[in-house]
Amino acid sequence: MKILIVGGGGREHALAWQCAAAARVSEVLVAPGNAGTATEPKVRNASFAAEDVAGLAHLATAERIDLTIIGPEAPLVAGVVDTFASAGLRCFGPRRACAQLEGSKAFAKEFLRRHGIPTARSASFTRDTFDPAWVRAQRMPLVVKASGLAAGKAVVIAPSADEALATAQAMFGGQFGDAGREVVIEEFLPGEEASFIVMADGAHILPLATSQDHKRLHDDDRGPNTGGMGAYSPAPVVTPALHARIMREVIEPTVRGLAADGMPYTGFLYAGLMIAPDGTPNVLEYNCRLGDPETQPVLMRLQSDLSVLCEAALAGKLDTVSAAWDARAALGVVMAAAGYPDPPRKGDVIEGLERAARLPGKIFHAGTRLEAGRVLTNGGRVLCAVGLGAGVGAAQRAAYELADAVRWPGVQYRRDIGHRAVARERHSGD
């Protein structure tokens, strides 16, 4: 079996590594991949951009790919699954119509409202329909979001109406390009965040192990929002009771609602949740893909063959398979380049990778490239060091041992990934 993974981040390195581990898989191609996928056994990079939908379909045909798994949102929103389907190619991910759940926050809010799924009260505006009087009538703070794709960076918590108005105007004015043509403004929700990721086949649902990421750049969850500075699995905030509630109040109505709306959802589905003090799982956002970096610790724990699960989903038989998970916890620390989340410094030599390879755990690459046998930084988030341990605390120690073995000029990473889960563990005397 030959598999194609689309994307070039840490999530895609983890996907390629997991798929390549199966005996029935002969080769995994990654487009475009990174230095990590270039050096992984049974894995080969193909120099096609993740957004080059036509090029990817040609590649999959020419290489006789049996299964394609899409990592990032952009090709999904651009309709890569529809293109592959019309070429008779098997591709795991939602079609373009379903990917609007992530591609348009205004669409997602309307969907949530229509199907009675818990979420913050909101209104969506274009420049022409914008209503400053509505903004002034709301309780502060307000959360102002560009509706389109902006790599998670176009969300601003505005403490006053004046700031909310200025933020919305800047978004309409093109601060985030086309993503800000429509703007969603919603009430601020207190609580603890949780990520909830499942696989869906249009009707059936297979939840993945729970996970939690840290979006802020600095320790203590301070500083600017990023794509994610680290993640761990399982997430103790998602107790069995909360898990059942999220399935019942969020995931099942979402999959049912999409099918009822005539667009059955196949693929990974990620709900970003804010768990209210009373336990209500409010949806902050949908992603139509796996999370990055959540995927890295989650796949470290997956003991089943992911390609088997994807094939079952594509056949509409997700109810006939199950996923086995390592009972240990996994925790990933993202190592970023100087400057991130602003445009980062690139081209620094990464040292210590050989030493790290002899330690337990695994380093997944993201923004890296190979040049003359050396691994160079080539993006904002560069590596994700993942450790395993009996609990989140032990996994955290293993992950930092791995991260501390690697360095380059200007490297930055948080020292406290998993702090809430570790505190919970201490509390319960674990």
Q: Of these partners, ligand GLY, ligand AMP, none, which one is at the site of residue 143 (CB under 5 to 8 Å by kind)? A: ligand AMP
The CA radius of gyration of the chain, in Å to the nearest whole number, is 21
Nearest to 324 by CA among 303, 305, 344: 303
* Segment contacting ligand AMP by CB under 6 A, of 58-66, 186-194, 329-337, 402-410: 186-194
* Segment contacting ligand AMP by CB under 6 A, of 47-55, 185-193, 301-309, 311-319: 185-193
- Least CB distance to ligand GLY at residue 224 (A): 14
- 3-state DSSP percent of the chain in helix, strand and coil, to 5: 35, 30, 40
Of 120 and 246, the one with the shorter C-beta distance to ligand AMP is 120
Distance between CA atoms of 117 and 253, rounded to whole angstroms? 7
Show the site string, 131-170: x = touches ligand GLY by CB under 6 A, - = not: ---------------------x------------------
Count CB atoms within 10 A of the CB of residue 405: 18
Q: Of these partners, ligand AMP, ligand GLY, none, which one is at the site of residue 65 (CB under 5 to 8 Å by kind)? A: none
Distance between CA atoms of 71 and 108, rounded to whole angstroms? 20
Which residue in 215, 289, 362, 365 binds ligand AMP (CB under 6 A)?
215
Of 94 and 291, the one with the shorter C-beta distance to ligand GLY is 291
Place of tokens 């909101």: 122
* Segment contacting ligand GLY by CB under 6 A, of 53-61, 129-137, 260-268, 288-296: 288-296
Q: Of these partners, ligand GLY, ligand AMP, none, which one is at the site of residue 186 (CB under 5 to 8 Å by kind)? A: ligand AMP
- Least CB distance to ligand AMP at residue 218 (A): 14
228 part of the interface to ligand GLY, by CB under 6 A: yes
Place of tokens 């818990």: 118
Q: Of these partners, ligand GLY, ligand AMP, none, which one is at the site of residue 318 (CB under 5 to 8 Å by kind)? A: none
Q: Are 427 and 392 in contact (CB under 8 A)?
A: no
Place of tokens 């086309």: 178
- Least CB distance to ligand GLY at residue 73 (A): 8
Q: Of these partners, ligand AMP, ligand GLY, none, which one is at the site of residue 120 (CB under 5 to 8 Å by kind)? A: ligand AMP
Q: How many CA atoms lie within 13 A of 217 on its CB side?
A: 16
Which amino acid is located at 308 in the chain? V
285 part of the interface to ligand AMP, by CB under 6 A: yes
* Segment contacting ligand GLY by CB under 6 A, of 105-113, 246-254, 286-294, 339-347: 286-294
325 part of the interface to ligand AMP, by CB under 6 A: no
The residues, ordered by sequence, that sit 6+ positions from 58 with a Cβ below 8 Å of its Cβ are: none
102 part of the interface to ligand GLY, by CB under 6 A: no
Place of tokens 């390609």: 307
Place of tokens 């690697």: 406
SS3 55: helix
Tokens read off for 158: 């505005």
The residues, ordered by sequence, that sit 6+ positions from 106 with a Cβ below 8 Å of its Cβ are: 124, 147, 182, 184
Tokens read off for 312: 């079952």
Distance between CA atoms of 234 and 391, rounded to whole angstroms? 9
Which residue in 16, 46, 99, 120 binds ligand AMP (CB under 6 A)?
120
Which residue in 104, 287, 377, 378 binds ligand GLY (CB under 6 A)?
287
How remote is the C-alpha of 392 from its chain's centroid? 20
214 part of the interface to ligand AMP, by CB under 6 A: no
- Least CB distance to ligand GLY at residue 72 (A): 9
Burial class of 41 by CB neighbour count within 10 A (0 to 12, 13 to 18, 19+): exposed
SS3 80: helix
Q: Report the interface residues with ligand GLY, using CB under 6 A.
A: 152, 213, 227-228, 287, 291-292, 294
Q: Report the interface residues with ligand AMP, using CB under 6 A.
A: 120, 143, 145, 152, 155, 186, 188-189, 193, 215, 225, 272, 274, 284-285
